[in-house]
A and B are shown apart, each in its own frame.
Chain A
Amino acid sequence: MVALPALIRYAVRRLLEAVPILIGIVTFIFLLLHLAPGDPATAYFNPNVSPEIIDRMRENLGLDRPLHEQYLRWLRSFFTGDFGYSFSQHRPVADVIRDALPNTLLLSAVSLVLIFLVGCAVGTVQAVRQYSALDNVTTFVSLFVYSMPGFWLGLMLILAFSSPAMPEFLRLPISGVTSIDYEFMGPIERIVDRLRHLVLPSFALGIASAAGVARYMRGSLLEVISQDYIRTARAKGLSERRVILKHALRNALIPIVSLLGLYLPLLFGGSVVIEVVFSWPGMGRALYNAILARDYPVVMAASFLFGVLVLGANLLADLLYAVIDPRIRTD
């Protein structure tokens, strides 16, 4: 009961610390888009559009106002959740976000689970069999995977899974979130269908990071294994399996939790490319399409949300760390 208030105090402090960064993010995006040459209305420069119309658009967008006034309006609109209107999709930006955000969160969450499961498993095997042939081969393979561009891996997966040589039962969907006949499926079939659509994108998105986690896990577990209490556990006559699983793994996993804050931003960034490759209707693809269409309200809202997501990921990582390791809370 003594520990709980300390943890809550820590959480509140971290949340309060996040507020100035949040304002920083909003300001940064504002400055970025106003430092660039031209303004959103120039996207409509076209011999067929009269200058009067462009001027009226500027007026509608508030671009004729003084900079500080625009900035205040911009701040207010973000804290009220009013992101403006999407030129290219002809609907409020909030609607665009509402459709896209859950897909990105789902993809990232599945990928994250994959990263940590695969990474920790591989790293543990490597550490337990240090310098064995298995260790050397997996280390080399992880380095190869780690050096792979996600978009290329995605395309190679698509190539492999659409090849006629692939047996029917191994076929996996290569694009989208659901199948065409999703409407006519029963509830369980629907879940299976969604899961099957997640396999390839989440693999392509996360596997490089899994290789990174494996490397950390290997190092972390090796360090723990060399400590005195592990020797004690072995001296007690515990089986090697028990020593590793019950005693070593627990402590080796502590630093791995902090990797969450490192790899979640990487996943969000990677989602831009992976969502384009797999036609996954999430935030990354929304941002990309908005950029191609010069749809500034969506670009601004999406980059803001990516910033919020990273901030949230860091907060989550810190809190988890504080839950696991009580020493963190006091300093």
Chain B
Amino acid sequence: MLSRARRERGRETWRRFSRHRQAILGLALIVLLTGTALLAPALAPYDPDAQTDIVATRYQAPSVSHPMGTDRFGRDIFSRVLYGARISLSIGFLAILIAITLGTAIGAIAGFFGGRLDTVLMRGVDLVLSFPRLVLLVVLVALFEPSIALVTLVLGLTGWMGVSRIVRGQVLTVREMEFVTAARVLGFGRTRILARHVLPNVLTPVIVAATLGIGNTILAEAALSFLGLGVQPPTASWGNMVASGRDAMLDAWWITTFPGLAIVFTVMAFNLVGDGLRDALDPRRVS
């Protein structure tokens, strides 16, 4: 019975989501981006790191053979943007996974057990939130050697606070509901009630926050890489590509422009889908 009701609800959500034209556009963009990222080795016309005959091929304006031009080492920008998608998307996904896992766990524990534990955890959230995220990121990364793993971890560790607040709020409402009381009367343990009965009912806003969070995570990664504190060259990331074109920007506009556009469209795609999901999952927003 329950699973049928759930399936019913899933279908209803999809129906509302698919009527959201912008969300479908976003979804299509994400599928396209993920596809090109996965197929980058097959799609890229050149090796992203290859520097064949620098003098002859560097700083070439966009043309048929190099659709986005070449950089100062004669590397094909289009190929590098494709490979950069792999880096930016995987960092985005992994970091948000860390963030929502942490955020859900902390928020659920704080909301469900309450009392002093709740106070301590939420003061912790306040504390981390009292730094601008980018400041925290820059300082954290600078303490260690920058690497892709470190950037991912640090992005995850600075992105969970919003989720934990949402989850805590939801748990506070859900734990007072009758089915939770029923579970308690049946003698289930607290951990079981939390994991099996409370958590599944608070995940909807987490999904929305995660989708919207990926965009922000990709932006933060790009900013870090732009500052030279994120993904290190020669590995292509959109942020460090923008930075690498900065010196010669006035003569070779394409080096900074195209990776930046890639960031904008990717972030926009996730925001579109996130908005669509929020509208589709919120029963009050029936148009």
Contacts and interface: CB of A to CB of B under 8 A. Distances in A.
Nearest to B133: A269
A158 B253 CA distance: 11
Nearest to A266: B132
Interface string B129-145: 11111111011101110
B127 A21 contact: yes
A4 interface: no
Interface residues of B, number: 41
- Chief secondary structure at chain A's binding surface: helix
Given A21-B126, A147-B215, A159-B250, A273 B223 contact: yes
A219 B264 CA distance: 24
Given A147-B264, A147-B268, A299-B139, A152 B242 contact: yes
B138 A291 contact: yes
A85 interface: no
B271 A303 contact: no
B249 interface: yes
Contacts of B134: 269-270, 272-273
A120 B53 CA distance: 53
Interface in A273-292: 273, 276, 287-288, 291
Contacts of A159: 249-250, 253, 256-257
B123 to A, nearest CB: 7
Majority DSSP secondary structure for residues of B touching A: helix
Contacts of B264: 144, 147-149, 152
B263 interface: yes
Most chain A beta-carbon neighbours within 10 Å: one of B123, B139, B246: B139
Contact of A306 (B132, B140, B229, B263): B132
Interface string A139-178: 0100110111111100110110011000000000000000
A288 B268 contact: no
Interface in B93-139: 123, 126-127, 129-136, 138-139
B223 A151 contact: yes
B157 to A, nearest CB: 12
A24 B123 contact: yes
B92 to A, nearest CB: 13
Interface string A300-319: 00110011001100100000
Interface stretch (A30-38, A179-187, A321-329): A30-38
Interface string B233-247: 000000100100010
Contacts of A162: 250
Contact of A32 (B123, B139, B227, B242): B139
B135 A273 contact: no
A306 B250 CA distance: 34
B222 interface: yes
B41 to A, nearest CB: 27
Q: Which 3 A-B pairs have the closest CB atoms?
A: A269-B132, A36-B143, A152-B260
